[in-house]
């Protein structure tokens, strides 16, 4: 955490967690059996939000670039990978036990009073000495469970990229600098999962390993920091809520020549969204040493052979999705024409990230012509975007339901659409904008052209 923390807001966080469950963004995993700590299921809206985020990341990091290709590595890998990468030896957090309530706690996250650490669960100061706890989930491959069949669920996606570096380089015929990107699950047996999905035991990462000549590393670290900040702004996180924390040399991994954390102001404090790290040639060199295979690069122009350096922007899908929800959440007091005030809960998602792009509403559900027209509009828009058809309840209620899940556009089919006020308004609808609540009359044939460029 970088600077002075702004005030935390547990009440706001509680409301966000409650909305996530109520509206189907996130459920507790295995809920009917009491849950599983640190594991979450994404419901119909959460899965759309995550997909929009991952698709946009893939679009800007892979498809729109000449210098990046993708891959999808397996979650289970040879144990030798985790020995070589250093994870088996050092991927640990310091753990202490409370001797009174038996809570297992992360030693580096304990609260203290006048310099004395205490248990956040029961308040006792009777804690054990810290010892290293390895965060990787151990598993066995095949039918025998012995030393030879041991491996781990991957704690990061990056290692698959390093060990496939040579294969990908050869098939893609890229020249340095170039990158390999991957999105996928990672698993860490966190001592204290907390802050909703923020620190989970199963989560997804979006990682790029960008390989370069040693002389380019420092400059590319700065380049990728700026690119990544631009990404977060482009998905709707306000720049003033994003913080950059440069990790001081004494806190960085010994091989790193520079690391930035990109942080976000969550209601529970300023916390890391992504690490952008200049990892030098550490990972490839480790795998060269351990496997005996050449993972180096021959530069045709300079006729030099060397082990590429790596700059790694590594982001969390779940953390970013949570940041999007926290940033979008708003409660507004709105007053209707009759002077009646009420609270409007709204998620101000960027249209690109919103799970549902447009709600489609026939004014009355018992009028077959209105319903048929609304269905027709759904069929027109559905191939291009996520739509939601809703005919139940007063129209104001239906708008509110969509506001609460962040749907940026609402299309209402009324009697004017059917031509009851003459030909001028025939085949036009009301297009309602979520944030301003302004409504405009637009032709059905213009809807796609109006909405699509904003997604």
Which residue is nearest to ligand GAP, using beta carbons?
316
Least separation in angstroms between residue 5's CB and ligand GAP is 18
Residue the block writes with tokens 């600077």: 3
Query: Of 48, 88, 93, 156, which one interacts with ligand GAP (CB under 6 A)?
Result: 156
280: which strand partners? 310
Residue whose CB is less far from ligand GAP, 188 or 398: 188
Least separation in angstroms between residue 52's CB and ligand GAP is 17
88: contact with ligand GAP by CB under 6 A: no
286: contact with ligand GAP by CB under 6 A: no
Least separation in angstroms between residue 353's CB and ligand GAP is 17
Site for ligand GAP in 204-263 (CB under 6 A): 205, 207
Least separation in angstroms between residue 257's CB and ligand GAP is 15
275: contact with ligand GAP by CB under 6 A: yes
Closest CA to 267 of 8, 15, 2, 17: 8
Least separation in angstroms between residue 113's CB and ligand GAP is 27
Residue whose CB is less far from ligand GAP, 151 or 205: 205
Helix (H, G, I), strand (E, B) or coil at 424: coil
Three-class SS string for 143-211? Answer: CCCCHHHEEEECCCCHHHHHHCHHHHHHHHCCCCCEEEEEEEEEECCCCCCECCCCECCEEEEEEEEEE
Residue whose CB is less far from ligand GAP, 97 or 272: 272
Query: Of 53, 158, 229, 455, which one interacts with ligand GAP (CB under 6 A)?
Result: 158
Whether the upstream peptide bond of residue 303 has omega within 30° of 0, thus cis, is: no
How many chain residues bind ligand GAP (CB under 6 A)?
A: 18
Instruction: Produce one character per residue of 44-70: b if its CB has 16 or more CB atoms within 10 Å, e if not.
Output: ebbbbbbebbbebbbebbbeeeeebbb
Q: Please tell me the total number of residues recorded for the chain in this structure.
A: 455
283: contact with ligand GAP by CB under 6 A: no
Closest CA to 312 of 281, 278, 340: 278
Closest CA to 20 of 53, 48, 43, 52: 43
Site for ligand GAP in 300-319 (CB under 6 A): 314-316, 318-319
Least separation in angstroms between residue 455's CB and ligand GAP is 25
Whether the CB-CB separation of 386 and 407 falls below 8 Å is answered with no
Least separation in angstroms between residue 39's CB and ligand GAP is 11
Q: How many CB atoms lie within 10 A of CB 331?
A: 10
CA dist 416 → 146, 184, 283, 361, 372 (Å):
74, 49, 65, 14, 14
274: contact with ligand GAP by CB under 6 A: yes
272: contact with ligand GAP by CB under 6 A: yes
Least separation in angstroms between residue 79's CB and ligand GAP is 18
Site for ligand GAP in 186-215 (CB under 6 A): 188, 190, 199-200, 203, 205, 207
CA distance linking residue 113 with residue 431, whole number of Å: 56
135: which strand partners? none
Residue the block writes with tokens 């480790």: 286
Residue whose CB is less far from ligand GAP, 151 or 402: 151
Rg (CA), the chain: 26
Residue whose CB is less far from ligand GAP, 224 or 388: 224
Residue 113: CB partners within 8 Å, gap ≥ 6?
none
Residue whose CB is less far from ligand GAP, 86 or 419: 86
From the list 138-146, 273-281, 366-374, 384-392, the region that binds ligand GAP by CB under 6 A is: 273-281
136: contact with ligand GAP by CB under 6 A: no
∠ CA(51), CA(52), CA(55), 5° rounding? 80
Residue whose CB is less far from ligand GAP, 211 or 399: 211
* Residue numbers at the binding site for ligand GAP (CB under 6 A): 156, 158, 188, 190, 199-200, 203, 205, 207, 272-275, 314-316, 318-319
């Amino acid at each position: 955490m970088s600077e002075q923390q702004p005030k935390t807001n547990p009440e706001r966080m509680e409301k966000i967690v409650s909305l996530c469950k109520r509206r189907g963004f996130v459920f507790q995993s295995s809920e009917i059996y009491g849950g599983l700590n640190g594991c979450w299921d994404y419901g119909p809206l959460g899965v759309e939000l995550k997909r929009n985020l991952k698709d946009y990341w893939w679009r800007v990091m892979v498809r729109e670039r000449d210098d990046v290709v993708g891959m999808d590595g397996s979650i289970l890998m040879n144990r030798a990978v985790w020995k070589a990468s250093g994870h088996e030896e050092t991927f640990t957090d310091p753990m202490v036990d409370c001797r009174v309530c038996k809570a297992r706690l992360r030693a580096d996250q304990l609260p203290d009073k006048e310099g004395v650490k205490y248990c956040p669960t029961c308040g006792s100061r009777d804690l054990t000495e810290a010892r290293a706890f390895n965060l990787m989930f151990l598993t066995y491959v095949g039918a025998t469970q012995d030393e030879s069949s041991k491996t781990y669920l991957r704690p990061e996606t990056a290692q698959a990229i390093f060990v496939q570096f040579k294969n990908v380089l050869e098939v893609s015929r890229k020249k340095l600098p170039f990158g390999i990107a991957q999105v996928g699950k990672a698993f860490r047996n966190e001592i204290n999962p907390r802050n909703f999905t923020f620190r989970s035991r199963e989560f997804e990462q979006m990682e790029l390993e960008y390989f370069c000549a040693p002389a380019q590393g420092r400059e590319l670290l700065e380049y990728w920091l700026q690119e990544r900040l631009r990404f977060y702004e482009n998905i709707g996180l306000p720049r003033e809520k994003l913080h950059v924390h440069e990790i001081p040399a004494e806190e960085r991994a010994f091989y790193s020549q520079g690391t930035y954390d990109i942080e976000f102001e969550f209601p529970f404090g300023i916390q890391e969204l992504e690490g952008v790290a200049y990892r030098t040639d550490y990972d490839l060199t480790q795998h060269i040493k351990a496997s005996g295979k050449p993972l180096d690069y021959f530069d045709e122009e300079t006729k030099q052979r060397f082990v590429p350096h790596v700059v790694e922007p590594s982001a969390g899908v779940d953390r970013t999705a949570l940041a999007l929800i926290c940033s979008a959440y708003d409660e507004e007091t709105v007053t209707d024409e009759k002077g009646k005030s009420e609270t409007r809960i709204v998620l101000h998602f960027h249209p690109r990230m919103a799970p549902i792009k447009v709600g489609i509403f026939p004014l009355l559900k018992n009028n077959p012509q209105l319903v048929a027209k609304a269905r027709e509009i759904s069929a027109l828009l559905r191939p291009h975007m996520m739509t939601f058809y809703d005919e139940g309840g007063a129209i104001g209620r239906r708008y509110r339901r969509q506001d609460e899940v962040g749907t940026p556009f609402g299309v209402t089919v009324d009697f004017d659409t059917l031509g009851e006020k003459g030909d001028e308004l025939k085949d036009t609808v009301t297009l309602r904008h979520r944030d301003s609540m302004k409504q405009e009359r637009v032709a059905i044939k213009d809807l796609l052209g109006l909405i699509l460029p904003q997604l």
